[in-house]
Amino acid sequence: MEFNLNGKTALITGASRGIGKDIGIALSRCGAHVVLSARDREKLAEVKNLITGEGGEVTVIPADLSMEDDVVHLFSEIEKKFKKLDILVNNAGIGYYDELVGFPLEKLDAIYRVNVRGTYQCCQCAMKLMIPRKSGYIINISSMQGIKGYPKQSAYAASKHAIVGITKSLGAEAQKHDIRVSVICPGAVDTELIRDARPDLDSSQLIHPEDIARVVLFLLSLSERSMVDMVAIRRRNASPF
C-alpha cells in the first residue's frame, strides 16, 4: 500500500502470535513504532527479533489484559515513552468451547475478563491519550461470531458480539474528538484459536493472519474524511452471514 505510518505509535494486543503478530509486522513495515503486548514473554521476544531484524522500531510491554493493573501499567509506560498513542489494535482474545448447557461459568468469566473487559479498558485508556490530541484510530478485532452464532461457541460468541457493541457505541462517542473506531469481524483464520474451536475445518481453506493485517492497513490508509464502521471478512467458499 502506498502510504506510511512514519512517526506513528501503534499498540497491538495479543501480539505474540497469529493475527496480532502479523499486524505488528505489517504496521512496522509501514514505518510505525509498534508496541507489542501479550502474556507470553518468549513469543513476544521472537516477534520483536523479527521486526528489529527488518530494521523496524518496536517496544515490548507484556501484559495480561484480564488484570486491571497490567492494563494501567501498559498505557502508563506508553505515555511515559511516547507521550501519545496514534493507533490501538485490540486483538487479544481467548476462547473455550462447549454446549451452553453445562458450560462452566468460571470459563465464561475468564473469556469476558480478556475479550470484553480487557478490550473495554484498553479503549478507555487509549481514548484518554487520544482525546487531548483530537487524533487516533482504534481498531477492535471481533469475529464472524460477533454477528452470527455456531454450536458450542455461545460464550465466545457472546464476547465477540460485545466487542461489536462496544465499537458501535464508542465510534459514536469518539466522532466529536476526531477519533475513528472500527471493528473487523474475521471468519475462520488459520490460528491456534480456530484449530481448538473448529478442528473439523481444513486449514488449507482458511484465511491467513496476514489477510487481517491487510484489512488493518486498508483502514489506516483511508483519508481522515472516511470512516468504516465494520469489515466482515471470510474465506471465499464459506457461507455469508
**Tens of pLDDT, residues 5-19:** 999 999 999 999 999
**Tens of pLDDT, residues 125-144:** 999 999 999 999 999 999 99
pLDDT at 108: 98
As a whole number of angstroms, the distance between CA 152 and CA 56 comes to 41
CA 151 to each of CA 25, 97, 154, 206: distance values in angstroms, whole numbers, following the listed order: 34, 9, 7, 19
Q: Which residues contact 52 (CB under 8 A, 6 or more apart)?
A: 58
Q: Report the SS3 class of residue 141.
A: strand
Residue 52: pLDDT band (50, 70, 90) is very high
pLDDT at 1: 45
Q: Quote the cell numbers at residue 124.
A: 478507555
Active site residues: 156
- Percent of all residues in the chain with a pLDDT value above 90, rounded to a whole number: 85
pLDDT at 234: 86
Average pLDDT of the chain, as a whole number: 93
Q: How do beta strands 9-13 and 180-186 pair?
A: unpaired
Q: Is-contact 177 130, C-beta < 8 A?
A: yes
The least confident of 117-126, 134-143, 172-181, 205-214 is 205-214
Average pLDDT over residues 85-101: 97
pLDDT at 206: 80
**What is the enclosing helix (H) or strand (E) of 14?**
none
- Percent of all residues in the chain with a pLDDT value above 70, rounded to a whole number: 93
Instruction: Please determine, for residue 187, whether its predicted confidence score (pLDDT) is greater than 90.
Output: no
Helix then strand count (H, E) for the chain reads 8, 7
Domains and CATH numbers, the chain: 9-233 (3.40.50.720)
Q: Report the SS3 class of residue 64.
A: coil
Beta bridge partners of 183: 140, 230
